[in-house]
Structure 1
Amino acid sequence: MERPITLGEFIVENQKDFPYAKGELTALLSSIKLAGKMVNQKINKAGLAQILGKVGTENIQGETQAKLDILANDIFISTLKNRGEICGLASEELEDYISFEDDINKEAKYVVLMDPLDGSSNIDVDITVGTIFSIYHRISPEGTKVTEEDFLQPGKNQVAAGYLIYGTSTILVYTTGNGVNGFTFDPGIGSFFLSHPDIKFPKEGSIYSVNEGNYIHFPKGIKKLIKWMQELDKKERRPYTARYTGSLVADFHRNMLMGGIYLYPQGSTSPKGKLRLLYECNPMAFLTEQAGGKASDGEKRILDIQPSELHERAPFICGNSEIVEIAEKFIRENKED
């Protein structure tokens, strides 16, 4: 039986997919892998180590922080800083970006944006959570202090993006613009092994993921789309099956493997949508397109949006291209004044 390939081996073998890097991507993804292992260990021992629950503070989003939110954020920041592959980092948990000004970091070419622990409200009830990351080539000259402009880039400028999913197994999924691959962590050996090569959305999908508790607040087009997905039509494989956990990573991962659509539209309670463009929408949109799907804000391509602030929110629809295009059609035909 052929030995499975490790994440490190895969990155080295595919270094040609990242032509303007000289080993930096290998080192940077290695740092993300290491931090992910550390967060995974903390999550698995959360109950025993008494790090479940809230800390009583809010992040910049106005959301109550879980103890593991802060712990995961600190782990990723320290790991990425200490390895010297990035010159700055922006996190959903922090009000402002961080500039790493040590000599080794100032010469780095890349910045990272991340959601250290997506779905952390589910931690206390043992539902799958994850980490989302996005990597950009800096705009400011190497050797200088990073600026906000380095982080406020459209998603189409991403050089790599991915996520770690901490569930029944821990999986790291990433893309550098040459397809999507997934690696499952073997805790006995301590390594990630290629388990999901060249991931593609199935040609057809029949799952929809949306928080229907917000239905009353959704725009007319989304309401009509949901009713359409619930109607019986065997030829079009309807009704669709509803699956929603409240963890973007979990819902996205399932839909990418099984086929379906994820929606977090704008509504009267979230006029600009709830998900963060830089930390959630852009990396997931990059993965979606590389896996043969489509990601939209309901009207335009997510990766074309020019962000104006670090914590900007956006409506988000992603999944099988055909289903997303149907969603856009419903929105377009039911445009409200």
Structure 2
Amino acid sequence: MTERPRVWVSQPLFDDIVARLGEHFEVTATPEVTRHAPAAMAAALAAADGALVTLNDPIGAAEIAAAPRLRAIANVGVGYNNLDLPALSAAGILVTNTPDVLTETTADFGFALMMATARRIGEAERWLREGQWRQWSFDVLLGGDVHGATLGILGMGRIGRAIARRAGGFGMRVLYHNRSRLDPQVEREHAAEYVGFDELLARADHLILVLPYSPQSHRLIDAAALAKLRPHATLTNIARGGIVDEDALCDALEQGRLAGAGLDVFEGEPALNPRLLQQRRVVLTPHVASGSLATRRAMVALAVDNLIAALGRGPNAGRPPSVVKAGIRD
């Protein structure tokens, strides 16, 4: 009897969905949420033909050095900066991700986080819970309007365009900056105006970051960029934490050069820059922009489909729905 391929699942996900892997493979699943040490990750991958992993699971050359059988890694998430793509590609390992299925849910959250930041909702809740309502005055907790304001979107991919569609319902003017300009028809459909990076910063009342993380975007929003924003502006980040210089952001907030920030992602997550915790005008959420039940289930389902197909099984054998980087391993 031919030995079935072996698959490792790095974190507990949805048992009923992950169970589909068992129809094709021998599956080893991690029973509880775990931050795998590099040596433990390498040991788990050593005997695997495929792996289903999350953004919390970094994998590079060291982790795959003793994994001669490994042919595919299915990442549960759109981003994949947890994976060393050059190292995996050089080893002939195919990488997949889960785009599209989380676009609308993430756009909902990004817009909500921007609104919460503009209207100081997090600060207002803390103020109420602290028993300060008895000190109410007419000018307490005044925030900025969203309706009729200018929204700046940095990164006009699927999620950025979904946010632009939501902005239309609030009568917002939409500006965007992207690595490449969109087709004019797409701009018209989203009522979005392309501008340069500096102009985007200078004109936005509310700036939302939705661009991919890369060495080029690392701390793109630094002290110089923040200085170009107007004092009444807000910054919302649902992209990756490393895009924002968090100390520079805290400086801008403490010096009154920025009205507020909404952050769902952090450079050192799950560790937080302690200065962020001291900022009353920052809304902090723990990387949950895609966190609706339906969307998270859809992400895992797509990752499972990707892995089954990448290992040559199922109706899409050899044709995973969403490949990031194709490698070829004998």
* TM-score for both structures, normalised by structure 1: 0.26
Query: Radius of gyration: which is bigger?
Result: 2
The TM-score with structure 2 as length reference comes to 0.26
Q: Which has the higher contact order (CA 8 A, sep 6+)?
A: 2
Larger strand percent:
1
